[in-house]
A = this chain, B = another copy of it.
Amino acid sequence: MPGLDVIRLGLAPLGIDEVIEVAYHGRKVEIDKESLARLDHARQLVFELAEQGHPVYGLNRGVGWNKDRRIEPGQYERFNRNLLYSHSAGVGPLASREEVRAVMLTRLNGLLQGHAGLQPEIVVRYADFLNHGIHPLLPLRGSIGAADITSISHIGLAMIGEGEVEYGGIRMAASEALELAGLSPIILGPKDGLAIVSSNALSAGTGALALGEAEKLLKLADLVYALSLEAVTGNVSPLHEALHKVRPYPGQLRSRDRIARYLKGSELWDGTLPDSLQDPLSFRDACQIHGAAEDALRYAREQLELHLTSSDDNPCLLVEERLILSNANFDPVVWILGFEMLGIALHHLSKSSCHRIIKLGDPRFTGLTRFLTPDEQKVIGFCTLQKTATSLDAEIRHLINPVSTDFYSLAGDLEDHATNAPLVVRNLREIIERIYYILAIELLHAAQAVQLRPPGFRMGEGTRQLYEALREEVPFLSEDRILTGDIDRTYRLLSSIRIKGHSISIIESKSG
C-alpha cells in the first residue's frame, strides 16, 4: 500500500484500524516529539525515586515472589538482562510477521502513555524495529494472560542483540540484524526489563487483529446471506426498516442497512416472486443474529481500544504525583470478557449459516433440485458439503467454551489471578477462520442455486458482484468433481474480499 502516510504515535488514541495497517500493510510509524520529551521527564523521575531509596518493585527490588530481594544500582544491567532471560520461557509455534508487528506497535503505544519510566531509547527501538522490518521470533504459547511475559521478553532480547529475528524475510541472529540495520544494542538500565515484559501486548496486539477480522467477517456474512436469500427467492418483508426501528439495537440496524444495500436492485423487492408467509429463521433472523454479533463486537472493540491507549505498567509511574505505585492495571480481564462474548455471538452466526446451507440443498425450501445437482439422474451434487460445514461448526462450538478463569495461584501464591488472554484471543481467531470456510460453503450453495433458477433473475448490486467474483474462481457445478479444492478457493476468495465504507466494492488483495 504505497504512499500511505506514516502514523504519528503519542497524540491521538491508537485504534484497531491502525494496528491492522501497520501489521499487514507495513505502514510506518513516527513518535511524536512531545511524547518523547515526556518519556525523558519520566525517566528522570525514576532515577530520583530510586535514589531516595524507596523500595520499588522491579526497580530496586525483584519481581514476582522475589519482590523481597534488593537490587543494588551496580546490578541494574545484569538484573534486567537476567530478567529478560528468565522470562523468555515460551512454547511454539512462532508468531507470524503480522502478529509480531501488531504486538510491537501495541507495546510501543502503551509505553508512550508515559507510566513505565524506562529509558526512552527502548521506546524508539520499537519504532525502529517496525520501520526497519526487524521482527523478533516470539513463541505464541506460555503466557497465562496477566502480562505476556514469556513471549514478549523475546523482543527485549532482540533489542540487546540476543535471540533470533526475521529480517528481510530471513531468519537470523538478532545481533546480525541490528548490525545490518545499523542499530546498536540497547544497554539495559533500571526498570527496563520489567517495562519490556510487563504488558499484555501479545494478547492485545493479536486481539486487535482478531477484531479487525471479525469486523470484515460480519460484513461478509451479511453479503453471503443476501445472496442466499436470493437463492431461495426469500421473503424480504422481515427486512422492512420499520420492523427494526421498533427494536433499535445499533447492530441490528446496521446489519439491516447493509443487507438492504447489497440487495439494492434485486428482483426480490419487486414482489413478483412466489412468497412464503414466513421463511425459516435462518433466512428471517439474520439482522437480529448478525446484529447481536455487531453489538458484541462493538463492546469488545471499545474495551480493547481503551486498553490500547492506556498503560498496563506495574509499577506505574505517576509523574504528576511523583509516585511509582504497585497496581494491577496489567489485568486484561476487562476487555477479555468481550472477546469471550464475541466468540459465542459468532457461533450463533455460524449455526445460522449452516442451517441455510442445509436448506439450500433441500428442495422443500428451494424448489430446486436435491443438493442443487444440475442433473438428478447423473450428478450427486453438494450432498457432502453440509457435513464439512457442520463439522467445522462443531469445532466452533468447542472453541466458545470459556477459558479465562482457568488459572493457578503462582509465584508463592502472590499471583492468584490471570485470564489466559492469548488463548482467548487465539480461540476467537480460530472461530473466525472456520466461519470463513462455512461462509465459503454457503456461498458455493447460494451461487449454484441462483444459477439453477430460470435465467434472467436479477441480483442485487452487492450480491451480483459477489456472485461474479466467485465464478472467476469456481465454475458452476455441472458434473461431480472433487470439492476439496473448490472449498479452498472460495475460502481464499472470501479472505481477500474487502468491503469498504458506504458504497459496496469488492477489492481483491493477497496481502491479508
Contacts and interface: CB of A to CB of B under 8 A. Distances in A.
A83 B384 CA distance: 10
Given A385-B89, A398-B401, A278 B246 contact: no
B66 A404 contact: no
A475 to B, nearest CB: 14
A333 interface: yes
A321 interface: yes
Contacts of A511: none
Most buried by B among A157, A278, A481: A278
Contacts of A500: none
A376 B67 contact: no
B303 A417 contact: no
Interface string A282-316: 10110111011001100100010011001110001
A391 B292 CA distance: 22
A436 B83 CA distance: 26
How many chain copies?
Answer: 4
A190 interface: no
Interface in A398-446: 398, 400-417, 419-420, 422-423, 427, 437
A139 interface: yes
A415 B358 CA distance: 12
Nearest to A397: B406
A136 to B, nearest CB: 12
Contacts of A267: none
A91 B388 contact: yes
A243 B329 contact: yes
Interface stretch (A28-36, A100-108, A117-125, A336-344): A336-344
B277 A55 contact: yes
A37 interface: no
Contact of A394 (B303, B379, B403, B479): B403
A198 interface: no
A354 interface: yes
A409 B355 contact: yes
A86 B391 contact: no
Interface in A49-106: 55, 57, 61-69, 75, 78, 81-83, 85-92
Contact of A480 (B86, B142, B410): B86
Given A78-B378, A247-B312, A410-B358, A384 B89 contact: yes
B427 A398 contact: yes
Contacts of A404: 344, 348
Interface in A141-162: 141-146, 149-150, 154, 157, 162
A11 interface: no
Contacts of A491: 91
A133 interface: no
A258 interface: no
Contacts of A299: 299
Contacts of A329: 243, 246-247, 288
Nearest to A280: B414
Given A348-B333, A416-B280, A423-B395, A85 B150 contact: no
Nearest first, the 3 closest Cβ-Cβ pairs linking A and B are: A285-B328, A341-B341, A82-B480
Given A243-B327, A246-B318, A288-B331, 19 more contacts: A55-B277, A66-B383, A68-B277, A85-B482, A86-B382, A88-B483, A89-B387, A144-B390, A149-B387, A154-B484, A246-B329, A277-B326, A280-B415, A281-B331, A337-B344, A354-B408, A386-B408, A390-B410, A413-B413
16 contacts: A61-B277, A113-B246, A142-B387, A142-B392, A150-B388, A246-B316, A247-B311, A248-B306, A285-B331, A340-B341, A358-B413, A359-B413, A364-B413, A402-B402, A408-B409, A409-B409
